[in-house]
Amino acid sequence: MSDERGVTGARLPRRLLALTPGTLRDGATTSTLLRGLGQAFEAGLPAVLLREPELSDGALHALASEVVELAARFEDRWVGVHDRVHVALAAGADGAHLGFRSMTPVDARAVAGDALALGFSAHAHDDAPRDWEGADYLTFGPVRETPSKQGLLEPTGFERLEEAVRLADRPVFALGGLTPEDVRSTHAAGANLAALGGILGAGDPAGRTRAYLAALDAVAEVSP
């Protein structure tokens, strides 16, 4: 299975990216998350982004190191760390993902060099593509209404997603309330798919992973 590479040669996430729920605190057990992630990897999940803002650097590094080790048991799995570039580098992750509170992708590249793929959380109000400079890939959303952004960001819909894909000139992962039933519309807009509650926030990570992948395979088969 071939890898997609960014401009620096760093390996990029492919077609389906799962985000962790973001509910961990220092001292809490990570066994449930690791078990669910292992089940999702076993079901074919190609990529995960560890987005756990409440963890200290030390706790996040310990978790990321475990996830990198877990991913290595499977073929071609990608692991990213949200926001903290130094933790991603120390844990041997594949990428770091940046948001509006993070350093810019250009500044992060000065720290990471060619070692990491850099993602960026893009939104409809960005000064695109200037805000995206230096990023290897983007997430864009929320496309649909989602609890994590309720009252903060209005859903963009698929038309704005398609516009972002046209401007991006790099892989885009649609994010925000998307189910396997949305895969066709997401694919038509030219985007990959990211899921937070839809996979690792669900009761059956393996089953949900298989549902997303089956939908992705189905649209790929009918694409010209």
Q: Where are the domains of the chain?
A: 16-222
How far apart (Å, rounded) are the C-alpha atoms in residues 184 and 166? 17
pLDDT of residue 125: 78
pLDDT of residue 150: 54
Residue 3 has pLDDT above 90, yes or no: no
Contact 74, 99 (CB under 8 A): no
The 8-class DSSP code of residue 11 comes to B
Q: For residue 107, what pLDDT band results from cuts at 50, 70 and 90?
A: very high
Residue 1 has pLDDT above 70, yes or no: no
Q: Which CATH class is domain 16-222?
A: alpha beta
Q: What is the average pLDDT across 108-126?
A: 93
- Both tokens of 72, joined, read 């290595």
- Both tokens of 58, joined, read 């030390």
Contact 145, 155 (CB under 8 A): yes
pLDDT of residue 130: 87
pLDDT of residue 147: 65
Closest CA to 182 of 147, 156, 152: 156
Burial of 31 (C-beta count, 10 Å sphere; 0-12/13-18/19+): exposed
The least confident of 91-105, 106-120, 133-147 is: 133-147
How far apart (Å, rounded) are the C-alpha atoms in residues 57 and 20? 16
Q: Which residue has the tokens 């389906």?
A: 16
